[in-house]
């Protein structure tokens, strides 16, 4: 019963309040009819488009009584941002650190949805797959990837950081999945870069873990001693510098 004037806008509020870390799907349908009650002329044939027929409501006389716009809505719950993980290393050194990620709210009943549309979002070479099982029947699939603030940061950090999964555990009673990663950081110069590790459950649900990589000043390479041969006379020593790139 909402009347709209020509060119008038209508805002339709959509509220999403998930009770579990899984995807929820709905459809918002907008049904429009003429204010005068008149129908649009329409002749349905055997070859009529099925999608078109789905988006109109026909009158008894064969005309179109109303037009429908259908907006699919996918509600993907996102956990609150987690505590910052800091990994620090001196430039030109290498550090390995185990990082534990806790995914809270993984409900076993939702595992049936892991073959949903969310599982088809794996179209990037940077996305890794993880399967977690409690050893009985329930299995959950997770996708994880780095999220960079810019392509420049990606090019700086991508070759300096490595990460692989070393341990996985799912407590079905508490709904907590524990993923333990081994992170290797080998910086070649001082830097301070923040990235985000995004973990997505195939059944819907996203956890984001901010990580800060800090590379401090490199240590002294060598000490050069120059002995004087006398006042107002030059003393010369030679040393070699090797470029790391072309």
pLDDT digits (tens, 9 = 90+) for 186-236: 999 999 999 999 999 888 889 999 999 999 999 888 899 999 988 999 999
Q: Which residues touch 170 (CB under 8 Å, ≥6 apart)?
A: 106, 132, 133, 134, 138, 140, 176, 177, 178
Mean pLDDT of the chain, nearest integer: 83
**pTM for the whole structure:** 0.69
Q: What are 95-147's pLDDT values in tens digits?
A: 999 999 999 888 765 444 444 444 444 444 566 777 776 544 456 788 889 99
- Fold assignment, 85-107+139-216: Immunoglobulin-like (2.60.40)
CA distance 101 to 145: 13
CATH 2.60.40.2310 domain position(s) in the chain: 85-107+139-216
Task: Find out whether 65 and 57 touch, Cβ atoms under 8 Å.
Answer: yes
């Amino acid at each position: 019963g909402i009347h709209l004037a020509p060119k008038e806008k209508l805002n339709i509020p959509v509220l999403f309040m998930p009770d579990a870390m899984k995807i929820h799907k709905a459809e918002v349908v907008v049904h429009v009819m003429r204010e005068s009650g008149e129908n649009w002329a329409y002749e349905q044939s055997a070859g009529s488009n099925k999608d078109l027929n789905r988006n109109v409501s026909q009158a008894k006389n064969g005309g179109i009584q109303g037009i429908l716009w259908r907006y699919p809505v996918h509600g993907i719950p996102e956990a609150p941002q987690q505590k910052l993980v800091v990994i620090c290393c001196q430039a030109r050194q290498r550090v390995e650190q185990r990082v534990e990620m806790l995914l809270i709210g993984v409900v076993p009943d939702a595992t049936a949805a892991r073959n949903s549309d969310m599982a088809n979002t794996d179209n990037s070479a940077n996305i890794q797959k993880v399967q977690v099982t409690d050893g009985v029947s329930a299995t959950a699939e997770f996708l994880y990837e780095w999220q960079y603030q810019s392509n420049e940061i990606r090019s700086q950090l991508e070759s300096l950081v490595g990460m692989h999964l070393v341990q996985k555990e799912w407590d079905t009673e508490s709904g907590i999945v524990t993923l333990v990663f081994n992170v290797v950081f080998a910086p070649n110069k001082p830097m301070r870069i923040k990235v985000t590790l995004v973990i997505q459950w195939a059944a819907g649900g996203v956890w984001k873990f901010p990580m800060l990589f800090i590379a401090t000043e490199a240590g002294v390479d060598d000490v050069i001693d120059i002995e004087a041969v006398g006042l107002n006379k030059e003393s010369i020593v030679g040393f070699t510098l090797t470029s790391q790139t072309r």
